[in-house]
Amino acid sequence: MNVSLLFMDNEAELRNATVNRSEISADLNLDIILKFMARSDDFIYRTVRTVMTTPVTDKELILYRQEIIADFVKNHDSMLQLYELAARIIAENENHKEATKRVNSSNLSSYAAAQNILGQLSILVNGFEQTKKYLDSIHYNFQSRGMVSFYEKLCEDYSDDFVREIKESIKNLKHLSHGGEITLSSSVGNGFKMGNIVINHLGVDPNKKRKLAGKVSLLINRFVHRKVIMLENSKIYEDARELEAEGMAHIARLYSGFIQELSIFFDNLHYQLAFYLGASNLKKRMAQLHLPHCWPKISDDEKTFSFRGLYDLSLGIYNRETPVCNDLDTEDIKLFVITGANQGGKSTYLRSIGIAQLMMQCGLFVPASTYCSRIYDGIFSHFTRREDTALNSGKLDEELSRMNRILNQITTNSLLLLNESFASTTEKEGTGIALDVVNALYENGTKILMVTHLYEFTKTMYERKLQQAKFLSAERLPDGTRTYKILEKEPEHTSYGLDLYEQIISPGSEALTLP
């Protein structure tokens, strides 16, 4: 049965957005947020890490997850209990498997194999009963479509009758392993081997009550073509026991599909609950630190991109207070070029957008007072890596090989965050590469947010007066103070080269006027 809390009607989605997972986690400082969500639960940590870096592209699904998160926030404690129950059943099942693995080598007898499966079956079926009972007691509180239909499907797929019958059958099998009776039918196979062995029933044939016994039955037996073989001191004893054990193993094997089904169910449940608990943890802890958040608005026209009070959540968690917030209002802009002084908050700005977008696309609330954006089918980051200089392929090679990997995956509906890319070579070469890469992407429709120091690049782009480009800059007050705010602003013309030209060639001429 599908848990379908992370994905509607499914346990996995094929139409996920692509991200450059390992790079983006580092570039956006995601780890701080993930650890904050996990509250030192390693499984939650690993789960949220995967889910956060697997953004989805379906608006309905995003809303579906938002509802479930609301349910979890409201019922945090009982959801935590459910999560712990699933975790315990999985652990018990694993321990059982581990223990039997250690005891038995490869040549497991049929009897022992059957016993193992029986043990596993008991753990899972009992665990299931407990889970079901617990859900029975709390399901009235669910309001999200996801949780409600999860409970409904559970009741439908595993009715109480079904569970009762399974338990009855397990009892039968246990009885057989303690000296019960088994009847099988067979036909003459190739070379007089037994062929097509079918188990008729376990225990005494319910149709034939015990009729005759002892010597009288022996006589009758001869009459109706029966052969009775006494097993005491008989060579056939071993054969009979083997046939019985194989029958038991065969029945046990029929359960293996069910066992697998239940194991997968618990794994999925555990995993999916872990994400929502992480989300619920995040919400609680952000409230404690007075970090604001809101549900994002998904822009359907794919043009609006605006926010109020957006901040870098990882920085907020790190400093335990709300960092500088930014506002933006744009329609149909494809390229953002962000320039300005160092330490002006440009990288933080880029990060705050990347984080909010990832959080939105995995169904979470976002760190802002309002946030409206479209859904991207790919989110990529390319940040300069000052630290790794030792690669023998050279720094530019390393940079471009990362860019190359991004270009292999990026689409026209993607978001790309560039932070001081192409700076690992001369300004001239860097500008050349940047112009090629950015223009090609821009013309194809990819959304780019780019922090850059390449003045030539910025100047050239600005002079092109592109319709769908915007130039932002880190604010610097006249007295030189940095506010860490990013504002819309014409790029500064601090061209030393031009200054020099002016100085030498045409002092005081009109050429000073720049567009």
Partner 1 sequence: MAFQSILGRNGFFRQDPSDLVMPRFFQDLNLDQILNDLFSRYKLYDLRQFYYVKPDIDDVEYRQQVLKDLENEELHKAMVDFSINMRKSREYLANINQSEIPEQKRKWKLDAAFYYINTVLELYRVLGEGYINSEGLLSFRDWLGDYLKGAVFEGFRKDTENLIYEFSNMSYNIQIKRDHIIVNQGSNDEDYCGNLLALFKKTQKESYYQKNPFWEITLSNLEAAVLDMLKKLHPQAFSRLKSFDEKYDGFINSVIIDFEQEIQFYLSFCDIKKEMEEMGFHFCYPKVGADRFELKDIYDLVLARKNASQRKPVILNDCHFDKHERFLVITGPNQGGKTTFARAIGGIIYLGMMGLAVPASSASIPVFDSVYTHFATEESMETGAGKLKEELIRLKKMMDSSTRNSFIIINEIFTSATSYDAYIMGKRVLDFFMDKDCIGLYVTHIYELTKNDSRIGSLVATLLSEESQIRTFRIERREASGKGYANTIVEKYHMTYEEIKERIRR
Restricting to residues 365-394, name those near partner 1 by CB under 8 A: 394
Q: Is 504 in the site for partner 1 (CB under 8 A)?
A: no
Q: How far is the CB of 269 from partner 1 (least distance, A)?
A: 20
Q: Which of 137, 200, 288, 481 binds partner 1 (CB under 8 A)?
A: 200
Q: Which of 22, 106, 137, 196 binds partner 1 (CB under 8 A)?
A: 196
Of 187 and 513, which has the nearer Cβ to partner 1?
187
Q: How far is the CB of 264 from partner 1 (least distance, A)?
A: 15
HSE-up (13 A, CA, CB side) for residue 224: 6
Q: How many CB atoms lie within 10 A of CB 130?
A: 12
Could you say which residues in the range 394-413 bind partner 1, by CB under 8 A?
Answer: 394, 396-397, 400-401, 403-404, 407-408, 410-412
Both tokens assigned to 320: 């335990």
Q: Which of 63, 243, 298, 498 binds partner 1 (CB under 8 A)?
A: 243
Stretch that binds partner 1, among 34-42, 52-60, 160-168, 335-343 (CB under 8 A): 160-168
Stretch that binds partner 1, among 177-185, 368-376, 381-389, 503-511 (CB under 8 A): 177-185
Report the C-alpha gap between 265 and 127 in whole angstroms. Answer: 11
Q: Which of 95, 186, 319, 389 binds partner 1 (CB under 8 A)?
A: 186
Both tokens assigned to 432: 């050349």
Q: Is 155 in the site for partner 1 (CB under 8 A)?
A: no
DSSP, collapsed to helix, strand or coil, labels residue 435 as helix
Q: Which of 19, 356, 375, 437 binds partner 1 (CB under 8 A)?
A: 437
With beta carbons less than 8 A apart as the criterion, state whether 416 and 448 touch: yes
Stretch that binds partner 1, among 73-81, 164-172, 275-283, 331-339 (CB under 8 A): 164-172
Q: How many CB atoms lie within 10 A of CB 412?
A: 12
Stretch that binds partner 1, among 130-138, 141-149, 442-450, 502-510 (CB under 8 A): 442-450
Q: Which of 98, 436, 463, 490 binds partner 1 (CB under 8 A)?
A: 436
Of 166 and 294, which has the nearer Cβ to partner 1?
166
Q: How far is the CB of 433 from partner 1 (least distance, A)?
A: 6
Q: How far is the CB of 297 from partner 1 (least distance, A)?
A: 26
Could you say which residues in the range 285-314 bind partner 1, by CB under 8 A?
Answer: none
| CA atoms 59, 61, 67, 69: torsion sign | negative
DSSP, collapsed to helix, strand or coil, labels residue 202 as strand
Report the C-alpha gap between 509 and 349 in whole angstroms. Answer: 39
Could you say which residues in the range 18-37 bind partner 1, by CB under 8 A?
Answer: none
Question: Nearest-5° angle of CA 218, CA 219, CA 220?
Answer: 95
Q: Is 199 in the site for partner 1 (CB under 8 A)?
A: yes
Of 221 and 483, which has the nearer Cβ to partner 1?
221
Of 98 and 242, which has the nearer Cβ to partner 1?
242
**What CA–CA distances, in Å, run from 179 to 120, 122, 202, 211, 242?**
21, 20, 11, 21, 13
Q: Which of 166, 298, 341, 372 binds partner 1 (CB under 8 A)?
A: 166
Report the C-alpha gap between 331 and 216 in whole angstroms. Answer: 98
Counting residues that bind partner 1 (by CB under 8 A) gives: 79
**What CA–CA distances, in Å, run from 44 to 12, 41, 140, 498?**
18, 5, 26, 55
Report the C-alpha gap between 413 and 378 in whole angstroms. Answer: 7
Q: Which helix (H) or strand (E) holds 474?
A: strand 469-476
Could you say which residues in the range 95-124 bind partner 1, by CB under 8 A?
Answer: 110
**What CA–CA distances, in Å, run from 385 to 230, 347, 433?**
82, 13, 17
Could you say which residues in the range 248-287 bind partner 1, by CB under 8 A?
Answer: 250-251, 253-254, 257-258
Q: How many CB atoms lie within 10 A of CB 95?
A: 11
Q: Which of 443, 463, 490, 499 binds partner 1 (CB under 8 A)?
A: 443
Report the C-alpha gap between 70 and 466 in whole angstroms. Answer: 42
Write the DSSP symbol of residue 197. E
Could you say which residues in the range 209-238 bind partner 1, by CB under 8 A?
Answer: 221, 224-232, 234-236, 238
The torsion of the CA quartet 486, 490, 492, 493, rounded to 10 degrees, works out to: 170
Q: How far is the CB of 382 from partner 1 (least distance, A)?
A: 12
Q: How far is the CB of 199 from partner 1 (least distance, A)?
A: 4
Q: How far is the CB of 207 from partner 1 (least distance, A)?
A: 8
With beta carbons less than 8 A apart as the criterion, state whether 247 and 182 touch: yes
Of 126 and 412, which has the nearer Cβ to partner 1?
412
With beta carbons less than 8 A apart as the criterion, state whether 126 and 264 touch: no
Q: How many CB atoms lie within 10 A of CB 456?
A: 16
Please enumerate in sequence order all residues whose Cβ is within 8 A of that of 84, keeping only pairs 6 or more positions apart, or say none.
Answer: none
Could you say which residues in the range 69-98 bind partner 1, by CB under 8 A?
Answer: none
